[in-house]
Amino acid sequence: MKLIYLIIGFIILAVTSLFLGVQDISPLDLFSLTEAQAHVLLVSRIPRLVSIILAGVGMSICGLIMQQLTRNKFVSPTTAGTEDSARFGILVSLMLFSTASPLVKVLVAFFFALLGTFIFMKLLEKVKYKDAIFIPLVGMMFGSIVGSITTFFAYKNDLIQNMSSWLQGNFSTMIQGRYELLYISIPLVAVAYLYANKFTIAGMGEEFSVNLGLNHKQVVNIGLVIVALITATVVLTVGMIPFLGLIIPNIVTMYRGDNLQNSLSHTALLGAVFVLACDIFGRVVIHPYEIPIGLTVGVIGSGIFLYMIMRRKAYE
């Protein structure tokens, strides 16, 4: 797939997303917007579009980095407990500081996401049975344990309803003033670009890295910090978007290879295109109501995940 097709698809979907909704706005109105139309565009449509793009790009790149660093095609924020840990962090921040500002929440969520991912990496080292499919299973079990701890404490503290809103990603609540935190992911994605080569080398193993004079531990840690921070901001603002970080990088590396320098741009764009498409689908299918993104991506994503497991011989 050429990059240009992705760009064209991205532009078409982005424009569609802007002009789709209960309030009728067509591209022709752009130069003669009524006050109400301008308001909808600025307060709701544009923030929604931006958050879709940032979340799609961010989560896909997180998955790509994780798969490279763990050398396992089935590892992603969903299958390594990162998302669940971030959600646990949000609960803790709600319990400890009930009036926490978004920044405090994201910091606590980041800390927990990082901790959870480190625990997963430690588990990975301990696992003797290195079957490609066994590792994400361990990660998903670990995620479920963290998730159930979250539910337990949420139940104890009457926060169940609050917490379930983070369980399912939803872009319909992305309005001005509620999505800006996602901008944190822009500099992080930039760092990922700078480190692309180093992540590729780190993915070839510690001995390989040392031979080339690369500080393996440092590069892995930087990768995990990027993953944890992007995941924390996305989970906090949008909610969990399952399997996104798993399927996008897998599709891209199939045709672009494992050299991050070649696959990063494609991964970023395809991530945005996929989430845009899923979001538009969710907005159209039961119009004027909509299905949350967590559900559409979850259904389509888990389907693709299953398909990948079926034909995983091709990946080994």
Partner 1 sequence: MVDVKHVSKVYGNKNVINDVSVKIAKGKITSFIGPNGAGKSTLLSMISRLIAKDEGEIYIDGMDVTRCKSNELAKKISILKQSNNINIRLTVKELVSFGRFPYSQGRLTKEDRKFVAEAIRYMELEDIQHKYLDQLSGGQRQRAYIAMVIAQDTEYVLLDEPLNNLDMKHSVQIMKVLRKLADELGKTVVIVIHDINFASCYSDYIVAMKDGRVIKEGTTDEIITPSVLNEVYDMDFKIEEIDAERICVFYS
User: In the complex, what is the shortest distance from the CB of residue 259 to partner 1, in angstroms, rounded to a whole number?
Assistant: 5
- Tokens for 239, please give them: 């909610």
Supply the minimum distance, in Å, between the C-beta of residue 303 and partner 1: 24
CB of 187 to partner 1, least distance (A): 20
Ordered DSSP codes for 119-147? HHHHHHHH-----TTHHHHHHHHHHHHHH
- Nearest CB to partner 1, comparing residues 217 and 287: 217
* Long-range contacts at 148-153 (CB < 8 A, ≥ 24 apart): 149/88, 150/84, 150/87, 150/88, 150/91, 153/91, 153/95
The DSSP H or E segment spanning 204 is none
What is the phi/psi pair of residue 291, to 5°? Answer: -95, 135
Residue 294 corresponds to which amino acid?
G
* Token pair 């995990």 in the structure block, residue: 224
Query: For residues 69 and 106, which CB has a smaller minimum distance to partner 1 in the complex?
Result: 69
Q: Which is nearer to partner 1, 23 or 261 (CB)?
A: 261
Tokens of 181: 């935190």
Q: Which is nearer to partner 1, 21 or 203 (CB)?
A: 203
CB of 60 to partner 1, least distance (A): 17
Closest distance between partner 1 and the C-beta of residue 211, in Å?
5
Q: How far is CA 22 from the centre of its chain?
A: 27
Comparison of 3 and 38: residue with beta carbon closer to partner 1 = 3
Q: Please report, in angstroms and rounded to a whole number, the separation of the first and last CA atoms in the chain.
A: 22
State in angstroms the smallest separation of the CB of 206 from partner 1.
Answer: 8
Provide the binding-site residues for partner 1, judged by CB under 8 A: 71, 196-198, 200-201, 203-205, 207-208, 210-215, 253, 257-259, 261, 316
Tell me whether residue 208 or residue 307 sits nearer to partner 1 (CB atom).
208
CA 310-314-316 angle, to 5 degrees, is 105
Q: Minimal distance in Å, beta carbon 257 to partner 1?
A: 4
Q: How far apart are CA 207 and CA 242, in angstroms?
A: 33
Residue with smaller CB distance to partner 1, 213 or 288 = 213
Phi-psi region of 158 (alpha: psi -120 to 50; beta: other; left: phi over 0): left
